[in-house]
């Protein structure tokens, strides 16, 4: 089984990815936070910097794109092809209201007919640009099972099967469920059995036990994607790989001591990209909303972190925690 690190907006940019890969290898692939393709036909400099090959040469990165227009997506694929990427992922899963109201992310799932036309135009556009060697990147999806009703999954599966997707990553929740409530494993099973493409499971995989149990239920599953679980336990991918190789996963478990050099280097990497400690502190505080789960009874220390304004404040917090 393969293990993918999910894209998480605001967290898993290239400074984090590179530092994480150095200290906690084990993820087979990383997915970039989405790049927005719009009517300007230009990516932001920050977005291009995040997927620049020279900033991702220690890991396998799949760039993810968000858009509502087929022409814009085809353009984005061409740009990423020129950067050397062999696969581009389309975001059909983001449930944010500001995204959905623009018919992007999970908003594309609301109208199945429109989605079908979108795909038709995408693959027609790609075919025209591919030339005789047909060498444009493969297209994968990160999707939910529907917008507001689980019955939509059957129609989506029918549409997906019409097109040559490289892989389909499924978060078995509806857009309206955001990230709460149980995942719909029964619907995922139906899609897994019906789809013609390789399928990846994404959602609520926080421990090695979660993944092992999922593998028992779906033994033919190609891969899983993990996001928050890997932020809460940075050694999770390493432990999964150890178990995959027949070793003792516990021997690869996280030691709190190895967190400190990772966090110190991550602070330095962010400092190179951002102006001033305030922005860097914001990034580190966001990461600690997940890491705090490793430290039961740390409520008082976390209050100090929330109040911290300088690097010295942050260092004092680290010294208390680790």
For 72, what's the count of Cα atoms within 13 Å in the CB-facing half-sphere? 16
CATH number at residue 160: 3.20.20.70
Structural domains of the chain, count: 2
Check residue 149 and give its pLDDT: 98
Closest of 319, 296, 293, 294 to residue 304, by C-alpha: 319
Domain identity same for 83 and 131:
yes
Residue 256 has pLDDT above 90, yes or no: no
Residue 276 has pLDDT above 90, yes or no: no
Domain identity same for 70 and 197:
yes
Cα 243-14-87 angle, rounded to 5 deg: 75
**Pair 143, 168: CB distance under 8 Å:** yes
Question: 């025209």: which residue's tokens?
Answer: 128
Question: 């059957």: which residue's tokens?
Answer: 154
Check residue 132 and give its pLDDT: 60
Domain identity same for 178 and 291:
no
Over residues 40-64, the pLDDT tens digits come to 999 999 999 999 999 999 999 999 9
Domain identity same for 298 and 214:
no
Domain identity same for 213 and 309:
no
Q: What is the number of H-type helices and E-type strands within the chain?
A: 14, 10
Domain identity same for 248 and 263:
no
Instruction: Locate 125 and state its tokens.
Output: 């556009």
> Where is 91: in which H helix or E strand?
strand 87-92
- CA gap 249, 89 in Å, rounded: 31
Check residue 136 and give its pLDDT: 85
Check residue 135 and give its pLDDT: 81
Check residue 164 and give its pLDDT: 97
Bridge-partner residues for 59, per DSSP?
none
Radius of gyration (C-alpha) of the chain in whole angstroms = 20
**Pair 49, 63: CB distance under 8 Å:** no
- CA gap 182, 202 in Å, rounded: 13
Of 193, 223, 252, the domain-final residue? 252
Domain identity same for 137 and 244:
yes
More confident residue, 133 or 85: 85
Residue 308 has pLDDT above 80, yes or no: yes
Identify the three-state secondary structure at position 262: helix
Domain identity same for 299 and 189:
no
pLDDT band at 133 (very low <50, low <70, confident <90, very high): low
Domain identity same for 228 and 204:
yes
Class of residue 180 by CB neighbours under 10 A (exposed 0-12, middle 13-18, buried 19+): exposed
Of 252, 281, 312, the domain-final residue? 252
Q: Which domain holds residue 298?
A: 256-321
- CA gap 105, 167 in Å, rounded: 17
Bridge-partner residues for 167, per DSSP?
140
The backbone region for 210, taken as left when phi is positive above 0, alpha when psi lies in -120 to 50, beta otherwise, is alpha
Bridge-partner residues for 141, per DSSP?
90, 168
Instruction: Locate 76 and state its tokens.
Output: 């984005």
Domain identity same for 242 and 268:
no
Give the residue-averaged pLDDT of 33-45.
Answer: 98
Domain identity same for 196 and 231:
yes
Over residues 146-156, the pLDDT tens digits come to 999 999 999 99
Contacts of 248 (CB under 8 A, 6+ apart): 242
Percentage above 70 pLDDT, the chain = 99
**Pair 51, 80: CB distance under 8 Å:** yes
Of 252, 270, 290, the domain-final residue? 252
Domain identity same for 155 and 291:
no
Bridge-partner residues for 4, per DSSP?
29, 225
């Amino acid at each position: 089984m393969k293990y993918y690190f999910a894209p998480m907006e605001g967290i898993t940019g290239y400074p984090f990815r590179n530092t994480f890969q150095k200290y906690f290898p084990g993820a087979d692939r990383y997915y970039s936070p989405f790049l927005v393709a719009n009517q300007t036909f230009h990516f932001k400099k920050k977005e291009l910097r995040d997927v620049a090959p020279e900033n991702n040469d220690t890991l396998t990165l799949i760039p993810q794109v968000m858009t509502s227009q087929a022409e814009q997506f085809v353009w984005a694929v061409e740009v990423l092809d020129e950067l050397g990427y062999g696969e581009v992922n389309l975001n059909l899963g983001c449930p944010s209201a500001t995204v959905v109201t623009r018919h992007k992310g999970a908003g594309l799932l609301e109208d199945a007919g429109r989605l079908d036309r979108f795909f038709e135009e995408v693959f027609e556009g790609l075919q025209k640009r591919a030339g005789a060697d047909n060498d444009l990147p493969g297209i994968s999806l990160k999707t939910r099972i529907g917008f507001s009703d689980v019955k939509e999954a059957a129609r989506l599966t029918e549409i997906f099967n019409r097109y040559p997707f490289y892989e389909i990553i499924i978060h078995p929740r509806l857009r309206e469920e955001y990230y709460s409530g149980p995942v719909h494993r029964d619907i995922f099973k139906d899609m897994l059995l019906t789809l013609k493409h390789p399928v990846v499971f994404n959602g609520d995989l926080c421990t090695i036990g979660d993944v092992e149990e999922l593998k028992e239920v779906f033994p033919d599953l190609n891969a899983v994607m993990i996001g928050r679980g890997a932020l809460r336990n940075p050694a999770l991918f390493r432990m999964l790989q150890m178990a995959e190789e027949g070793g003792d996963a516990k021997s690869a478990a996280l030691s709190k001591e190895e967190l400190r050099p990772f966090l110190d280097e991550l602070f330095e990497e962010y400092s190179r990209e951002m102006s001033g400690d305030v922005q860097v502190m914001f990034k580190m505080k966001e990461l600690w909303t997940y890491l705090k789960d490793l430290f039961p009874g740390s409520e008082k220390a976390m209050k100090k972190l929330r109040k911290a304004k300088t690097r010295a404040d942050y260092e004092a917090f680290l010294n208390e925690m680790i």
